[in-house]
Structure formats: C-alpha cells, structure tokens
C-alpha cells in the first residue's frame, strides 16, 4: 500500500527560513500573502493530495487510459478528482489575477506541485501542462488570444498541451515537417502529425488547446523557420463556448512503461484551424517560455516521486523484522529487529532523504528567483534572478530526475523482493520516474545546454549569479567552529567546481566535443555544490535555532544530521566528477564505431 503525507515542516523551513537572505529581497508584489496564509494553502494541499489523489495512484496505474473511436478516457475516479481539483482553485494558484488566477508566489506553487506529483504524478500532467501553456500565451500571444483563452485555461475548464515532437525528430526540431498555411481571415491551416503529446486527448476538460510548432510556406530551413500556433480541439463560438470540432484527432495512445494514467497521444492535424502566437519564424523563443517552465516542473516531478518512495521505504523499514542489530538486539521483545537498525538500510534511507531535502532546498531557491525575475522592483535584482533561473533550469530538470530515479530504485531495494512485486506500489515509482529523465529534453541535452549555452553566456554572467553567493557564504563561515567540517567539505567541492569550469571553458573553445563529453558530469557537479550550499546554510540556521531554544528541536537536529550525512557521503562525489571532466573525451570517443 502506498503512503504519502506532505513533509510540511520541511516545506515551511524552505519557504520561510532558508532563503530569506538570497539576494532577491522581499517582493512587495506578494505582501498580502502572510506566512499564515501560505501555510494554510500548503496544509489544504496536503490534505487534498493525501485524501483525493493518492488513493487513485495505484488504481490509475493498473487501469490506465483507453481510447475508443478517437476519444480517450482516463481511469476511474480521475474525472471526479479533477473536478474537485478545479473547484478548489488549484488550477489557478500561481496565475495572473487579471485572467482569474490567485497570484500566489511560484515558491508556494512549486511546493504544491511536489505534493501533487508525490501523490499521483500521472494526474499532475493534466493541469501541469496547462499552467506551462498559460506562460507562453501570456508572454507571446495577441491580446485577443489572451482574452479568449487564458480565463478558461486558468480556471481549468479548458486544458492545454505542447505539440513539438514528430516521428522523425525529437530534440532536433529543425527537422519538423508540420505545415501552417495562411488563410484570408488571418488564421492558419495546420497539417501534420505529432507524437508523444502528454494529455493530448482526454475526458477531464471541455476543450483542449494545443500549442503547435509548424512551418510557414516561406519559412527558412532549420529552427529559424519554426512558428508557434494555437489550435483548439473545439473552435470557440461567438459566446466563447466550445463550438465546432476542429481538424485535430487522436490516432492512438502510447502503451508506456509507466505513468499509464497520463494519456500520451499521437495527434493528427488535418486542415486544423490555428492562430499564430508571437512572430513568424520565432516560435522556438515562444515555446521555450513554456518549455523552460515545464523543465523546472519535471524536476519537481522527480522530487515528488522520490519523496513518496522515501516515505514508503521508511514505513516498511520500521515494520519489517529481519536479523539483529550488529551492535546487539534493539528490540529483544520481538523475534527480530526492524531492518531500519542495519547500517546499509540506513545508508539507503539517508541517501534518499538527503536527495529529497537537498532538491527541495535548491528548488525553493530557484522558485524564489522565478518570482523575483517577474516581480522584483529593482531592475538589477530582476536581471540577477533571470541569470540564476537560466543557469539552474537544466540543473533542476536533470539532477532532480536523476536523483529521483535513483531514489525510487533504492526504495525498491529497501523492500527487497516485496518491492519488486506490485503489492506495495514501490515498483510503480520506478516506472513512473523513468520518463522524467527523458521528456522535456533528455538529461544529456540538459548537460549540453549547461556547458554549451549557459556556462560561457555573457562572459560567464550566469555562473556569477551562483558562484558569488557561494563564495561569500564560504568566506563568512570559514571561522564558524560549529560548522567547520561541513564548510571545509563545501569549500573543497566548490574548488573542484571552479577548476572544472576552467577546464570545460578552455577545452570547449577549441573542441566542442570536449564540452559535450563533460556535460553530464559538470551538471552533476554544479548540482552537488548547489545542494551542499543549501545544506550547510540549513545547518547554520538549525544551529542558531537550537541555540535560541527552538520548540521543535528534533526537526532542527535532524536537519543538521542530514546535512552532515550529505557532506560526508554524497558531496565527495564532486571530486570524482572533476576527475572525469579532467580526463576529457579521449577514451569516450576513441573506440571505432564499427567496434560497438
């Protein structure tokens, strides 16, 4: 049986304590959202995900979606759950009030996203993609399209997709063939096929709005000739209600390894009416507004699934009796000790815990920057926040999902044979987590983005948005005897990152394959240092709270213990990443292709 209860205490720590001095300052835009109000939102989200979404996770996985005569039906209970989700205002949580949103900070929205993904990640795709689409429409569409579509999307009565991939092209979108032909009334006729479209067809909303990449007749070749179009399943009538059926149909749904309750569709566009979003041949820039938002959200999916796996593994480890503690029986009243007493089980549980707390802390930092990028009054703060978001988006997407998949595998290992069978629901987490490393740009692509675009951009300006606060923190904390070993560990890892950065930058200038060979290791390295920084900072805050006599001393002690584990057992991987980067491409590229 799957278990999940949102880790509200740690979420409140990240929201209210950890990042108050992050350089982005207080945002006056959110002054009406008091800590008590935000906590109430989190508590209600925790209740909803626990009581409504979690019970549908295993059953939805077992049933999956089905297609009949081009119509896709979600598993039993999903329609009712979505209706409650929409009625509760969760679709509109962080959207602009001008279009019916509640305008809450992204820092809160990302924590709610984590809860939804932990309880039922397949369900999360339906409203999650809609939220991403609203960012693209709001940022690039005409006022007429905004007024016609955003209120319905924000409310959740309509949903949205992003239609990029075609059979012959995935990441290399320059190869796409879908065409858009201008019409006399200013609309376009779209023709082509798209695959792997999450939530492309379903029965949860009364209309589905597709954001489609296509080429105009006179478009230049490659990615410079791609435009973005909005094409609804049903064309709105004069009153704005769903009217005539548009020329888009679902040919099939994919039979997947995991996330079976999330419909992944093959869509055909046959003389489909659509409207241009943004400028002609500038569709990639508009779509990346949505894609980058989705990449952060996919990272949160990895974190959410890992948290569910952690809670399930802990519950089992406390209950399962096997063997005696190596230090002597801990529960002599029982025929054997619970397996949580064994060092290797502790290693696995502490690893998952450290991954989750580190990702949550780093994700909270990035979410604060997302808020500052949009709402800070000071242009310099906005620019600094935008740099940090640009740098960390590939890190959040790839690192969180890599660690999330590793965490679910460790969860299965804690269960042993019982984890490999379906009875306990742990193996579902492994299957569900696997796709997060692939979609929205494979994790290898994220590494290439980091070293190929972000590392050298604006003469290293993106990197400075991260390096400067870490360097200042280390300098300020070097004489803190309470945190001495942790600070030393972080300083060593940061030094490895600085050396690796110089190595990648120097070699990559002369040989792009050198940068490409370093991408995955460099992304892991910067992510480890970022989490290490968050952990040592957390330990400092926890130490201060304990010295002040905090009521919840157990929480702060656990925070220090987890930070120590991360610095002792996980952060040393930074040195290995640097050594791999230093080795370069030689052995990676040496083997003749015919020898594979």
**CA 317 to chain CA mean position, Å:** 28
- Residue 536 near residue 567 (C-beta atoms within 8 A): yes
Angle between helices 379-415 and 283-319 (to 10 degrees): 40
Question: What letter does residue 185 receive in the DSSP assignment?
Answer: T
268 contact partners, CB below 8 Å, separation of at least 6: 193, 248, 249, 250, 251
Q: Which residue reads 């979420």 in tokens? A: 11
CA dist., res. 300 & res. 292, Å (int): 13
Q: Is 67 helix (H, G, I), strand (E, B) or coil?
A: strand
Beta strands 71-73 and 158-163, pairing class: unpaired
Beta strands 264-277 and 248-253, pairing class: antiparallel
Residue 521 belongs to what H/E stretch?
Answer: helix 512-547
CA dist., res. 571 & res. 489, Å (int): 7
Rounded-to-10 torsion of CA 168, 258, 133, 92: 170
**CA 162 to chain CA mean position, Å:** 16
Per-position b or e across 54-77, b if 16+ CB within 10 A of its CB: bebbbebbebbbebeeeebbbbeb
Q: Which of 271, 284, 250, 297 is nearest to 169 (CA)?
A: 284
CA dist., res. 91 & res. 31, Å (int): 22
CA dist., res. 364 & res. 102, Å (int): 20
- Residue 75 near residue 63 (C-beta atoms within 8 A): yes
Is there a catalytic annotation at residue 166? no
CA dist., res. 482 & res. 221, Å (int): 60
CA angle 535, 412, 309 (to 5 degrees): 45
CA dist., res. 278 & res. 224, Å (int): 14
- Residue 536 near residue 483 (C-beta atoms within 8 A): yes
- Residue 110 near residue 364 (C-beta atoms within 8 A): yes
HEC profile for 188-255? EEEEEEEEEEECCCCCCCCEEEEEEEEECCCCCCHHHHCEEEEEECEEECCCCCEEEECCEEEEEECC
SS3 content of the chain, % helix, strand, coil (to 5): 65, 10, 25
State the catalytic residue, choosing from 406, 440, 513, 593: 440
For the annotated catalytic residues, the residue numbers are: 440
């Amino acid at each position: 049986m799957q278990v999940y209860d949102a880790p509200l205490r740690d979420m409140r720590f990240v929201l209210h304590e950890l990042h108050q001095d992050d350089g982005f300052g207080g945002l006056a835009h959110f002054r009406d959202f008091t800590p008590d109000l935000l906590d109430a939102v989190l508590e209600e989200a925790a209740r909803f995900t626990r009581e409504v979404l979690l019970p549908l996770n295993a059953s939805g996985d077992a049933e999956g979606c089905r297609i009949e005569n081009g119509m896709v039906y979600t598993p039993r209970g999903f329609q009712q759950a979505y209706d409650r989700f929409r009625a509760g205002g969760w679709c509109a949580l962080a959207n602009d009030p001008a279009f019916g949103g509640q305008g809450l900070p992204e820092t809160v929205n990302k924590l709610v996203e984590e809860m939804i993904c932990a309880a039922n990640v397949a369900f999360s795709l339906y409203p999650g993609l809609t939220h991403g689409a609203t960012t693209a429409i709001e940022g690039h569409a005409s006022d007429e399209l905004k007024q016609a579509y955003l209120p319905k999307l924000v409310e959740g009565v309509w949903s949205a997709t992003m239609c990029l991939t075609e059979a012959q092209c995935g990441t290399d979108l320059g190869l796409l063939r879908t065409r858009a032909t201008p019409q006399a009334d200013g609309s376009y006729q779209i023709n082509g096929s798209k695959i792997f479209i999450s939530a492309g067809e379903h029965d949860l909303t009364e209309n589905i709005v597709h954001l489609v990449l296509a080429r105009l007749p006179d478009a230049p070749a490659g990615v410079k000739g791609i435009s973005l179009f909005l094409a609804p399943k049903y064309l709105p009538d004069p009153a704005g209600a769903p009217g005539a059926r548009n020329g888009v149909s679902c040919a099939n749904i994919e039979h997947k390894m995991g996330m079976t309750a999330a419909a992944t569709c093959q869509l055909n566009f046959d003389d489909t009416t659509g409207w241009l979003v943004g400028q002609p041949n500038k569709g990639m820039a508009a779509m990346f507004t949505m894609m980058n938002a989705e990449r952060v959200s996919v990272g949160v999916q990895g974190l959410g699934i890992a948290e569910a796996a952690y809670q399930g593994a802990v519950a089992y480890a406390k209950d399962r009796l096997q063997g005696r503690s190596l230090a002597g029986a801990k529960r002599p009243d029982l025929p054997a000790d619970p397996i949580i007493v064994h060092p290797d089980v502790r290693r696995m549980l502490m690893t998952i815990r450290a991954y989750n707390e580190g990702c949550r802390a780093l994700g909270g930092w990035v979410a604060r920057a997302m808020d500052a990028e949009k709402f800070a009054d000071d242009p310099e703060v906005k620019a600094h926040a935008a740099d940090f978001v640009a740098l960390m988006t590939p890190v959040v997407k790839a690192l969180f999902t890599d660690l999330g998949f590793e965490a679910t595998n460790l969860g299965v290992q804690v269960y042993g044979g019982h984890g490999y069978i379906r009875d306990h629901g742990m193996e579902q987490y492994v299957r569900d987590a696997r796709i997060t490393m692939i979609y929205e740009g494979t994790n290898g692509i994220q590494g290439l983005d980091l070293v190929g675009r972000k590392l050298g951009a604006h003469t290293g300006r993106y990197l400075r948005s991260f390096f400067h606060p870490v360097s200042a923190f280390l300098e300020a904390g070097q004489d803190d005897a309470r945190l001495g070993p942790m600070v030393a560990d972080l300083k060593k890892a940061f030094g490895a990152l600085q050396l690796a950065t110089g190595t990648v930058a120097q070699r990559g200038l002369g040989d792009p394959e050198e940068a490409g060979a370093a991408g995955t290791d460099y992304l892991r390295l910067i992510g480890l240092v970022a989490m290490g920084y968050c952990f040592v900072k957390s330990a400092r805050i926890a130490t201060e709270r304990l010295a002040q006599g905090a009521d919840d001393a157990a929480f702060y002690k656990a925070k220090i213990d987890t930070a120590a584990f991360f610095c002792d057992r996980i952060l040393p991987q930074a040195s290995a990443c640097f050594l791999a980067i230093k080795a370069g491409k030689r052995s990676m590229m040496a083997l003749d292709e015919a020898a594979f």
